[in-house]
Amino acid sequence: MPLVVIGWLQRAAALREAATSLTPVMNRTQFFHLVRRWLVVIACLAAPHLAHANCTATPAMPILQTLDSMAVAVNLTVGSTIPGTVRSYQFSGSCANVAPWVVPGAPIISCYYGSGTEVMPGVYSTGVAGVGIRLRNAAGQPVTNASTIWCDTRSANLGYLNADMTYSVSVTIEFVKTGPIASGSLDPSQTIFGFGVYNGSRDGALGGAGNNYIGISGTIATREISCHVLSPTTVSLPAISARTLATQGSGGNTPFAIQLNCNSAAIVGITLDGAAGTPVMSAPAGILGLSNAGTAGAASGAGVQIMNASGTAPVPLQVRNAMGSIQANVPATYRFGARYASLGGTPSPGTVTSSMVFTLDYQ
């Protein structure tokens, strides 16, 4: 359920009380598989269709990733992203012009280089029962039908070569629950995605032939953990002058807390995001927009900013925030603040409503 902020602005007067309700995305009591990973060796793979360094890449390819651990809710829906497993990658470079494929405007794609199978659209096997792997482009599109190094994923391309033959692409790789999860080792021959110019063969391999891939490795062990989450239903922000808000840029910081108690030790992370219908105005600055923007009686020019416990720094949105370790059966309290934030100019009178969701992950 979402966090909701409701308020009202008056000309040169006050932002009336705002109510902020917080509810976790997850159920109050859940069981989790704890998944741990240790580094294993990944062999260098040949890439016969995308390959030598006619295309440079920064950072250098290949990229070998080891995830320290992963938590999977037993009641997590099959097909859902496993919380805490999303990893982002960005790389850029330039290619030599090699007609007819490696030319300005040519699409850059990703293929699933693994030896596994596509177990559901855009999700590929990892060698561990119940765990799949998925790659998304910067627009959030999963790469489907990507098996084999000769794939055609132009419908979910990563971008295009610029006129000067440079490029810059971003992707995310995440793990997905595909069924009941069992212990085991990730198969390094399955958890691999390659990158290059479509149909560019060796000339289009980003980072050079045999190097143009991201591989993920590890060993998975499972155990169950039960966690209980408590959060306030309402956080009321104090009244504040609209003129003061415009002058100072923010105000009315009000503390709130999320409490957590688990039956086993764990490492905790939290991800904050706008609920459906609430825009994120600035993820790095922790600022949410209004979910009622443009409706009758709605205010404008104001948002809600999530702050740390002391109110001295914003809590970024849409990224995992490490919350540290918790001990078994010892309640932990995570403290935050919420305040009004000016979005520029003088806020107009009206109702302020904003919503936020948070997701906890456990390792």
The pLDDT, as a whole number, for residue 4 is: 53
What CA–CA distances, in Å, run from 17 to 8, 240, 254?
7, 8, 11
> Do residues 61 and 79 lie in contact, with contact meaning Cβ atoms separated by under 8 Å?
no
Spatial separation of the C-alpha atoms in residues 240 and 9, rounded to whole Å: 9
Instruction: State the average pLDDT over residues 210-229.
Output: 80
Partner residues linked to 275 by β-bridges = none
> Do residues 8 and 239 lie in contact, with contact meaning Cβ atoms separated by under 8 Å?
no
Instruction: State the average pLDDT over residues 309-336.
Output: 94
How much helix, strand and coil, in percent to the nearest 5, is found in the chain?
5, 50, 45
- Token duo for residue 154: 């132009």
Which parts of 82-177 are beta strand (E)? 87-94, 107-112, 118-120, 123-125, 131-137, 159-160, 166-177
Residue with the bigger pLDDT between 201 and 196: it is: 196
Spatial separation of the C-alpha atoms in residues 156 and 144, rounded to whole Å: 8
**How many Cβ atoms are within 10 Å of 206's Cβ, its own excluded?**
30
User: Lowest-confidence range among 31-45, 194-208, 333-347?
Assistant: 31-45
- Token duo for residue 245: 């808000």
Q: Is the pLDDT of residue 24 over 70?
A: no
Instruction: State the average pLDDT over residues 179-191.
Output: 86
What percent of the chain shows pLDDT beyond 70? 81
Q: Per this entry, what is the length of the chain?
A: 363
Instruction: State the average pLDDT over residues 24-50.
Output: 32
> Do residues 275 and 303 lie in contact, with contact meaning Cβ atoms separated by under 8 Å?
no
CA 157 to the chain's CA centroid? 19
What percent of the chain shows pLDDT beyond 90? 49
The pLDDT, as a whole number, for residue 33 is: 33
The pLDDT, as a whole number, for residue 186 is: 86
Residue with the bigger pLDDT between 9 and 66: it is: 66
The residue type of 222 is T
Structure confidence by residue, pLDDT tens digits, 120-164: 999 999 998 899 999 999 999 999 999 988 899 999 999 999 999
Q: Which domains does the chain have, with CATH numbers?
A: 3-24+231-362 (2.60.40.1090), 32-220 (2.60.40.1090)
Structure confidence by residue, pLDDT tens digits, 76-134: 789 988 877 888 999 999 999 999 999 999 999 999 999 999 999 999 999 988 999 99
Q: Is the pLDDT of residue 179 over 70?
A: yes
| Dihedral sign computed on CA atoms, order 88, 174, 41, 62 | negative
